[in-house]
Structure 1
Amino acid sequence: MVLLHGILDVTIHEGKDLPMSIANQATSFVKRVLCCNQLPELAGSVDPYVCLDVGSTRRLRSSICQSTNDPVWNERVEVYVADEAEELRIEVKDADIVGAEYMGQASIPVEMIIGGKLFDKWLKLEDQMGKPIGITEKVSRRWTPSKVRVSIKYIPVGSEETASLGLHEVPRVYFPQRPGNKVTLYHDSVCTPGPVPGIALAGGGLYSESSCWDDVYAAIQQAKRFIWITGWAVWHKTKLLRVPDRGEDSPSIGELLKQKAAEGVNVLMLVWDDTTNNMGLHSGLMATHDQETLEYFKGSDVTCLLCPRQGGMEETVLQKFSTGNMFTHHQKTIILDAPMQSSSTAASPAAAAAAGAAAGPPACDPATLEHLSTPNSSSKKAGGKAGVFSSSEAAEPPRRVVAFIGGLDLTDGRYDRHDHPLFETLADGHVHCGDLYQPSVNAFDATKYCCRQPWHDIHAKVEGPAAMDICLNFMERWAKQAGASNVAKMRHLDDHKDIHLPKGFEVFTSKASMLKSKLAHGGVTVKHETIRQQDPSLRLTDLPAGEDWSVQLFRSIDSDSAEGFPKGGHSYDAGLTVGKGKAIEASIHSAYINLIRRAKRYLYLENQYFLGSAHLWDSDTDTPCYNQVPAEIALKIVSKIKAGEPFRVYIVTPLHPEGPPTAGSVQAILYFEAQTRNMMYKRVAAAIREAGLDAHPQDYLQFFCLGKREGYETSPGLMSWSSDLQPATSFKTMSSTKSGSFKMPADSAAGAAAADAAECVDSNGVVLEQGPTCLPPADPANTVQGKCTASRRFMIYVHSKLMIVDDEYILLGSANINQRSLEGSRDSEICIGACQAGHTMASAAAPLPRGQVAGFRKALWLEHIGALGPEHDDPSRLECMQALRATGDANWQAFVHPDVQPLLQGHLLNYPNSVGYDGSVGPLPDCEEFPDLGGKILGVKNAVLPGLLTT
């Protein structure tokens, strides 16, 4: 086997004399007439497309040429490869309404493409037995071979042309990198804003944190023109501000959006439609509250649309079913207008060349939040009708576009702090009363006491030119998914004379373009040439030189979900691929690959899932999970070991996927994740042996998870159970007697009766809809809920989608590291990559830069490990890896200890599997299942659930 690690520059040119066998025609007839009740195709008609397999992995599909035996494609695609193969296989198929018919294949030995040679040939097709395929002319009876022409050039890693690119810019993707932005980074939904002691930046100041949902709330309150939201889940009852001491609760997100829409703000929402709602499951399998939120906004000025993930016309019946029922719209964005502020004033065209910008905005102060928490009673514009604006807008102060992007949905369970409490915030008057989110406990009973599932996530605010790209993503999706009756509700931004827009933006929003696209039942006609242009007037200029951010937007999305993808030669420039007639953008996958290949010292990743590169696993290599991120990481480590250079990789995932870990779907994902880790560690181990080093694979690559364990002091009044998990004989009374406290009687019989009537109420005596009673779980020794409550431990659910490279670049958004998120034609996703030109490896005086990315990484680690030392300054050093692993091991021992005890330092846990010197992954001794919850830590292969669902 030859390792192909680099890029295949492939052009599918054309085909000649492609066959249509009698057997294929008969099969097509049966499928169309008997299975799908459709008319048969014309005799001899074929709809050919071409596939490229590298080894056993399908890496490319061309478009479909309709009804021709002599197709012309002329499609050029870049294919990233990290594959072991002896040959490439070109396969030609005939598209059909159900599946596709095999037409022929040709093989290209790997030796013919390596060494920088351009392969450009006509390939004669053969059948699967190696017999030549062709057609026989009816008159002359002359036999002519069937053939296709392809061109392939292999570009190994390190040989790519990068001279024309910006710092870490990813080439040939839809959106270019844009300088002159401000980026605010958030970990978790809320925090105490302000400087973080001990985290010094290059300029001498301290890194300062901001609170995400406080900033989101303030931004929504300040919006005057539009608020556009995309979400996997949006629950109208979610409250962004929860300050128990305020005495006056803030409005929910639903109330807030209704209020803004009533003021004349254009409020549009694209929320994923969980189609299991339509199968008699009212709440849906994913419990996203989509139907509940839709009903809430009906009849209001808010336009809330539920969008299923739909397949295209070119897909087969089975593919459409899979797309609609297995895949989702997973983007999480909020785009709105905001006032121009002194720290983010846009440059005039004349001053744009002197661009500088963002170091992280100051957080909204408590006094401002207190003012904003009171609903604004300002009247609607122009007589109160939503969508009508007065002519005085042009005289108002200029406004700008701001966007929030990341992993946080506006729904239940996401509100969390850096300390991730389990019990103490569930009582009346605390921030999680009414928000007891616990989807991972089997047979969970919300009327009984239990810990909540803590939530850890990463989010960002973008100001500057890149915010317009996030805005354009919404416009493309709205134009495609809103339907003809709703597309006009997206107000034209250029109607607002006070919003500063980029040059040429009228291409996207002019009424002529809208009319033209309406005729095609679409929305905005997007011209990619305009997207590629840079408008210096949007750059932020009044912050210190070198502190501005260069930001690039990446997506996983296809033309079934977004309007206006370019075609022809522009498709290649935009990095689009084609799959059976649809255009596919998989630039998030491209970003991961490019950034990993360019990394010099270390990688730090947090992700909800981590599985991929199945083509390199020891077994189950046909699993439909061939994204290259795990392989690229392993090969990067291997290359650094061979070069004798320091390099470490830190990966944080949840202890297990969300849901009871005994569930078949969770076990299947755990099995695939274990296969992924095993593949990576074995390649690292082989490189260590080859280099003759005295080292262990975990010296270079370490997986972690996060957990929390509390003592009983965090829940005054909660009974403690004895070591055998049997209920105590009496209850204690809470010391607090204010309204809303749980009253606990002195005997268990009375306690059971009182607990049935116990309610969580606010300070005004209003009964909240959800709140745990003081009744202990029934039979706590034999129920998962009882065990979790007694042991007072639970994982912190890592929902982040984050990669930090060398303390100089950060990638974050909604995409997981699995095939669903990275393929482009499964779940729709969105991410940003960002760096500061003034804080790079090249410009750093120390081994690593010390800009905002470095400050954020250290603040994140401070949350996870509780304290920072000099050993944490350079993650590429072995001392850093050893320190984190020691912390993770000590915390894991406390996490699984039979006695209830808080973790020693922070929340970081080593992932509970063993890794041998040969890289083999196995269970820890006496710990094959998850504590309290059960289920194999290394998972179990599922023979029932389709791989498309669990990968």
Structure 2
Amino acid sequence: MGSDSNNDHMALCNGVSSSKEPVFMHGELNLWILEAKSLPNMDLTSERMRKCFSVFGPWPALPTTHSGKHTGITSDPYVSVCLAGATVAQTGVIANSENPLWDEHFCVPVAHPVVKLEFHVKDNDILGAELIGVVEISVEKILSGTVINDWFPIIGHYGNYLKPYPELHVSVHFRPIEQISLHKNGVGAGPDYRGVPNSYFPLRKGGSVILYQDAHVPDGMLPEISLDGGKVYKHGKCWEEICQAILEAHHLIYVIGWSIYHRVKLVRESSKQLPAEGELSLGDLLKYKSQEGVRVILMIWDDKTSHDKFLLKTEGVMQTHDEETKKFFKHSSVHCVLTPRYASNKLSIFKQQVVGTLFTHHQKCVVLDTQASGNNRKITAFIGGLDLCDGRYDTPEHRLFGDLDTVFKNDFHNPTFPSCVNGPRQPWHDLHCKIEGPAAYDILTNFEQRWRKTKWRDFRLKKVTKWHDDSLIKIDRLSWMVTPSSGPGGDHNVRVSDEKDPENWHVQVFRSIDSGSVKGFPKGVHEAEAQKLVCAKNLKVDKSIHTAYVKAIRSAQHFIYIENQYFLGSSYYWPSYKNAVIPLWPEGVPTSASVQEILFWQGQTMAMMYKIVAQALEKAGLSDHYHPRDYLNFYCLGKREASSRSSSSSSPSQRNQQTENRMIVDDEYIIMGSANINQRSLDGSRDTEIAMGAYQPNYTWAGKNSHPHGQSCVNGPRQPWHDLHCKIEGPAAYDILTNFEQRWRKTKWRDFRLKKVTKWHDDSLIKIDRLSWMVTPSSGPGGDHNVRVSDEKDPENWHVQVFRSIDSGSVKGFPKGVHEAEAQKLVCAKNLKVDKSIHTAYVKAIRSAQHFIYIENQYFLGSSYYWPSYKNAVIPLWPEGVPTSASVQEILFWQGQTMAMMYKIVAQALEKAGLSDHYHPRDYLNFYCLGKREASSRSSSSSSPSQRNQQTENRMIVDDEYIIMGSANINQRSLDGSRDTEIAMGAYQPNYTWAGKNSHPHGQVYGYRMSLWAEHLCELEDTFREPQSIECVRHVNKIASYNWEAFVAEEEKEMKGNLMLYPIQVSRDGNISSLSGYESFPDVGGKILGAPTTLPDVLTT
């Protein structure tokens, strides 16, 4: 009896009810972690020494400062906030304090099944962390809607009271999704467009965006797509336009890449006459421009497994050619720096090794100066998922055996079949974009922050008294360079379109990066919060890519279309482990352990998602009329092609490698960038990523009151490659330049610290503000007006925002203070300042979607708290790599968990609505992959495998009005902010929104999605104009299902494009399983739903 009474009292104190049934929380959780008191001293060694010496006399109590900070040695506390087993927030570490004062605020988007909210108070240590105790608050109390502001007792790990009775002061307030007006009308009707809130880089207006699919699209290869106003969608030529921009640059060419290979030729099938220099390889072209006096700086991720020193020469696990490229530029005027994914030195020694070994810099950007009005120059940026390296050049045709001796000569890449020298090549489908206007300057900021961090690290290792680096061009000193001014509206002078221009774009740049990768994040918590950074222990994290995805999905009103190399997430909701949207298998060999594990996680994600759709149909009473695949589908790209070589009578199937990372929401908003949909890309403190979100204000549902038809509705063996990129002009391009400069300064600063110099100096970067002819934005509000390239009244105007996934360990320029970091919208995570704006952009885009969401991404992993055990989502057929390898197998496992979680949620929703008899979960949620089958034409091989089309493009399109595009995958690595560094952009055209038109907007986002679908499905049906309709979903699924059957058929069978239903079976109740007879990938092996391995989860998520 006494024991029961004591437990009841403990539960009452902590606010935990006796209910163990999870309650679904969907909305925003505002948390204020204020302070703690009477914490125990966890540094026992020093405490015991103190007590030992007190035998010889009274030992004075440890003195305390006014902030509760001991001058002696005691605990270094911080707080982690957990929901359903997932850590959703972390405070900074207060050193040597038993009465710490944090005063930190977190706004956490939640979609979790929750029993209780947990605050874990921990003691930070050089080798890790030790749990002090836990505070728990029941979900019923939180859902009441009242503000909870109180002191709570900190309870020990085993439910015991601690001495000297420590307490934690917190404030909690929950806002359900229905009360958040931001997500109710997609992009909105304007004129007060807000973009993705809580992002380091704000929404930039007056921009211009060109969206690319694949490295090259020959004239006439894809059908004509009609847009609103009698316009026709123009297919861009990504690498050709990058080459043209490089040739025309006068002052600076900054390049960031996961892989950059100097031997690659950018122009191979040009339809127009280029100067003779256009025929040069990339390395020779950059040397040529540097000899003209152009400042050329390359920041390439340093693969720690590759070496070229003395007698040690290794190619490296990832085969990025980093050492080879660096050696090529040695003794030239090109600044080529290899940048390891350094962790912040404020992390524990173990965590530093984990970050430096497992995570990457995944951003892919080219920032340069281009012609502005008159004799002025402006910043233009190219960002997305396309690396300038071997194996990436491809067209929508995705040839497997054709032109190996011409177009693809010396550019043969297929890790799946390394011994097949005569083909098939690995096809590659990816994306990119060009940004002009204010957002381009944000991308420049990203580069500069990363550069300063890199150079600062060099500086710290040198015996010098002052840091100086003059590598970066000071663009504000160039009178002819258009630059934004400081303050609100300071970007007016760098706008390239007028708000009245119907083709105007609004663009926002997102990142996934932390303070270990940038220099310039504030150190203080409040400063970091002011800059919209997330504070997590000792890190400041920019997780805006994740935020953008969430916002885009929540705002979707009609549909969501995603292409991504990975789709892993919501592991807390997985049925057992959990994952989601992908290629046929992730990049790599499908039988490898890594690919198999990724496929396993992916299968978990799919299972989760279909289960949710099935439950929703059943709840709505529609399960007899609709199937889960009427609402959710996973596709992959594939192509089967006969070899033309006479020595080969048959060839193995080859997937179309999906690495493009994009989301299209409601044909009005697009997110595009480098980030995959997995923890690596979206965490912010793992892989560094960058992305952009954009829309055309004149092409939105709200503005047209109908479907907007603008530009954003888009659609070896050698390994074909399907990817994307975009060209950005206007203010957002300057944001991308900023990203480059930040990263460059970080890289050079690292070099500087290693040298014996007294002053840090780097003049590698062009100071564009010093060039009078360079159009540059001014500081302050409206400072980007002079770099705008379109008028707001122009119907083709774009609004563009640049996003990143990067932390202060990869950029130089993040503020050090928490409050300064918060002011710059950075996330503070322990001692890091993190830009997680890619994550923020995804969240905002998803939440705002009103009609549909379309995503292409190499990875789709997330919401692990919703996995049945682990959880993840959207991908290629398998992630990049060998599908039987341990890493790919584990990623596939997480992905399967994500799918399982998502389908389960959809099924439950259908059941709850009483619709489970009418609809199937696949009527609402679908996973696809890309594949191509082609017969070899070479006579030298009697049999060749079919080859998949590798999808690595990372994009999201929401409601055909908003797009997010960039380098980030949908996984924790890309979206965490403190793992892989990423960058992305979100953009829309304000004249093409649902809210503005009161109909489906047909602007550039719509045109882009339709172009993608024309490539994937080899036809343009009228039903494709309304992707949110059941008729469209079922028609696409019918084609995708046929393509899978043709892809795996024994006999040669023509495919209708390269889009295939991801090979899983989804039941009406949302459960997923492998297709009968296809538990493993054809030809190459490896379980489709993957398998758990002994690899650390942090590597594969």
The two structures have a TM-score, normalised by structure 1, of 0.77
1:702 is matched with 926
Verify the 8 A CA contact 1:649 1:702 in the aligned structure 2. no
What CA deviation, in whole Å up to 9, does each residue of 1:540-587 have, x standing for no partner? 246972210000111111111111223343422332111222211101
Give the equivalent residue in structure 2 for 1:250.
279
Note the alpha carbon deviations across 1:181-202, whole angstroms, 9 max, x for none.
0000000000125796441111
Cα 1:698–1:409 change in 2 (3 A) is same
Question: What's the secondary structure of 1:209's corresponding residue?
Answer: coil
- Give the superposition deviation at 1:681: 1.0
| Alignment CA distance shift 1:194-1:471 (3 Å) | farther
In the other structure, the counterpart of 1:573 is 530
The 1:449/1:75 distance shift into structure 2, 3 A limit, reads same
1:799 deviation in Å?
A: 0.5
Give 1 or 2 for the bigger CA radius of gyration. Answer: 1
8 Å contact 1:332–1:814 — kept in the other structure?
A: yes
Q: Return the letter of the residue paired with 1:91.
A: H
CA 588–244 in structure 1, closer or farther in 2 if over 3 Å, else same: closer
Identify the residue that residue 183 of structure 1 maps to in structure 2: 209
Cα 1:124–1:533 shift into 2, 3 Å: farther
Give the distance between the partners of 2:1021 and 2:446, measured in 1 at CA.
Answer: 42
Q: Match of 1:239?
A: 265
- Which stretch shifts more, 242-251 or 573-582? 242-251
- d(CA) in 2 for partners of 1:495, 1:651: 41
User: 2:515 corresponds to which residue?
Assistant: 559
Query: Which has the higher mean CA deviation after the structures are superposed, 837-846 or 96-105?
Result: 837-846
User: 2:475 corresponds to which letter in structure 1?
Assistant: L
Call closer, same or farther: CA 1:24–1:408 in 2, change over 3 Å.
Answer: farther
Q: TM-score, normalised by structure 2?
A: 0.67
Distance 1:189 1:313 in 2: 38
**Would you say 1:15 and 2:36 are equivalent positions?**
yes
Partner amino acid for 2:926? Q
**Which residue is 1:884 aligned to?**
1036
Separation in structure 2 between the aligned mates of residue 3 and residue 99 of structure 1, nearest angstrom: 32
Distance in 1, Cα, partners of 2:104 & 2:269? 57
* Aligned AA (1:938): L
Q: What amino acid does structure 1 have at the position aligned with 2:367? A: I
- Deviates most, 169-178 or 600-609: 169-178
CA distance in structure 2 between the partners assigned to 1:202 and 1:838 by the alignment: 11
Offset at residue 896 of structure 1 (A): 1.1
Equivalent in the alignment of 1:482: 455
Report if the CA contact (8 A) 2:207-2:495 is conserved: yes
In 2, the alpha carbon distance for the partners of 1:642 and 1:182 equals: 44
Choose which of 890, 901, 915 in structure 1 pairs with 2:1066.
Answer: 915
Distance 1:642 1:620 in 2: 25
**Corresponding residue to 1:468 among 420, 434, 441:** 441
Please tell me whether residue 69 in structure 1 is matched to residue 98 in structure 2: yes
Say whether residues 1:146 and 2:120 are aligned partners: no
**Is the CA contact (8 Å cut-off) linking 1:50 and 1:91 kept in structure 2?**
yes
In the other structure, the counterpart of 2:956 is 803
User: How far is 1:160 from its partner?
Assistant: 2.5
**Structure 1 position 322, deviation (Å):** 0.4
CA drift of 1:813 comes to 0.3
Q: Which runs of 5+ in 1 are unaligned?
A: 30-40, 136-144, 346-395, 505-529, 720-773, 781-785
Are 1:224 and 2:256 matched, yes or no?
Answer: no
Tell me how far apart the structure 2 counterparts of residues 188 and 68 of structure 1 sit (CA, whole Å): 54
Asked if 1:493 is matched to 2:475, the reply is yes
In structure 1, how many angstroms separate the alpha carbons of the residues matched to 2:320 and 2:390?
9
Partner of 2:967: 814
- Quote the residue 2:1095 is aligned against: 945
Distance in 2 of aligned mates of 1:184 and 1:924: 39
Note the C-alpha offset of 1:928: 1.4
Aligned partners of 1:183 and 1:659: how far apart in 2?
32
Of 863-872 and 44-53, deviating more is: 44-53
Aligned residues: 771
**Given that residues 152 and 169 in structure 2 are in contact (C-alpha distance below 8 angstroms), is that contact kept between their aligned partners in structure 1?**
yes
Q: Which moved more, 1:593-602 or 1:535-544?
A: 535-544
Aligned match for 1:298, one of 330, 334, 337:
330
Aligned residue number for residue 655 of structure 1: 877
| Equivalent residue letter for 1:474 | F
Residue of structure 2 in register with 1:855 after alignment: 1007
- Contact kept in structure 2, 1:648 and 1:881, CA below 8 Å: no
Of residues 550, 568, 574, the one that matches 2:506 is 550
CA-CA distance at 1:537 after TM superposition: 1.8
- Distance (whole Å) between structure 1 residues aligned to residue 1068 and residue 610 of structure 2: 19
In structure 2, relative to structure 1, the CA distance for the partners of 1:24 and 1:837 (3 Å cut) is: farther
Alignment partner of 2:178: what SS?
A: coil
Matches of 1:158 and 1:673, distance apart in 2? 29
Structure 1 residue corresponding to 2:409, chosen from 433, 443, 468 = 433
Displacement of 1:482: 2.0
Asked whether the 8 Å contact 1:637–1:700 carries over to 2, the reply is: no
2:146 is matched with: 117
Equivalent residues of 1:810, 1:834 under 8 A apart: yes
How many Å apart are 1:8 and its aligned residue? 1.3
Q: Secondary structure at the match of 2:144?
A: coil
Could you say if the C-alpha distance between residues 651 and 535 of structure 1 is closer, same or farther in structure 2, counting changes exceeding 3 Å? Answer: closer
Contact 2:264 2:282 in 1 (8 A): yes
- Matched-pair contact (CA < 8 Å) for 1:233–1:288: yes
* CA distance 1:28–1:156, change in 2 (3 Å): farther
Instruction: Note the residue ranges of structure 2 that are not aligned, 5 or more in a row.
Output: 1-21, 51-69, 183-187, 460-466, 580-596, 623-630, 632-849, 857-874
Give the aligned residue type for 2:170.
V
- Is the CA contact 1:196–1:206 (under 8 Å) kept in the aligned structure 2? no
CA positional deviation for 1:648: 5.5
Q: CA deviation at 1:450?
A: 2.2
Matches within 5 A, 1:234-633: 234-243=260-269, 250-278=279-307, 282-340=314-372, 345=373, 397-427=375-405, 430-441=406-417, 444-445=418-419, 448-483=421-456, 484=459, 487-504=469-486, 530=487, 534-541=490-497, 545-566=501-522, 567-620=524-577
- Secondary structure, aligned partner of 1:938: coil
- Structure 2 match to 1:507: none
Deviation at 1:445, TM superposition (A): 2.1
Give the superposition deviation at 1:597.
Answer: 0.7
What secondary structure is seen at the aligned counterpart in 2 of 1:470?
Answer: helix
1:253-274 deviations in whole A, cap 9, x for unaligned? Answer: 1101111111110111111100
Residues 810, 650 of structure 1: alpha-carbon distance in 2 compared, 3 angstrom cutoff: closer
Cα pair distance change 1:578/1:929, threshold 3 Å: same
> Which residue number corresponds to residue 899 of structure 1?
1051
Contact 1:194 1:208 in 2 (8 A): no
Please tell me whether the aligned partners of residues 226 and 337 of structure 1 are also in contact (alpha carbons under 8 angstroms): yes
Asked if residue 924 in structure 1 is aligned to residue 1075 in structure 2, the reply is yes
Distance 1:151 1:213, change over 3 A: same
Q: 1:306 Cα shift? A: 0.5
Q: Partner letter of residue 201 of structure 1?
A: L
- In structure 2, the residue corresponding to 1:207 is in which secondary structure? coil
Higher strand content, 1 or 2: 2
Residue 4 (1) aligns with residue 25 (2) = yes
1:794-847 superposed Cα distances (whole Å, 9 cap, x missing partner): 11000010110111011110000111001111100011000001101023364x
Alpha-carbon distance in 1 for matches of 2:94, 2:895: 38
Q: Which amino acid aligns with 1:439?
A: P
What do you get for the CA RMSD once the two structures are aligned? 2.9
2:979 aligns with one of 814, 826, 831: 826
CA distance in structure 1 between the aligned counterparts of 2:389 and 2:1064, rounded to whole angstroms: 33
Please state how far the C-alpha of 1:440 moved relative to its aligned partner. Answer: 1.7
* Partner Cα distance (1:299, 1:637) in 2: 62
| TM-superposed deviation, 1:899 | 1.5
Q: Which residue of 1 aligns with 2:64?
A: none
Equivalent-residue separation in structure 1 for 2:1024 and 2:181 (angstroms): 34
Contact 1:335/1:401 (CA < 8 Å) preserved in 2? yes
Percent of residue pairs bearing the same amino acid type:
39
Give the conservation status (yes or no) of the 8 Å contact 1:240–1:253. Answer: yes
**How big is the shift at 1:710?**
2.0
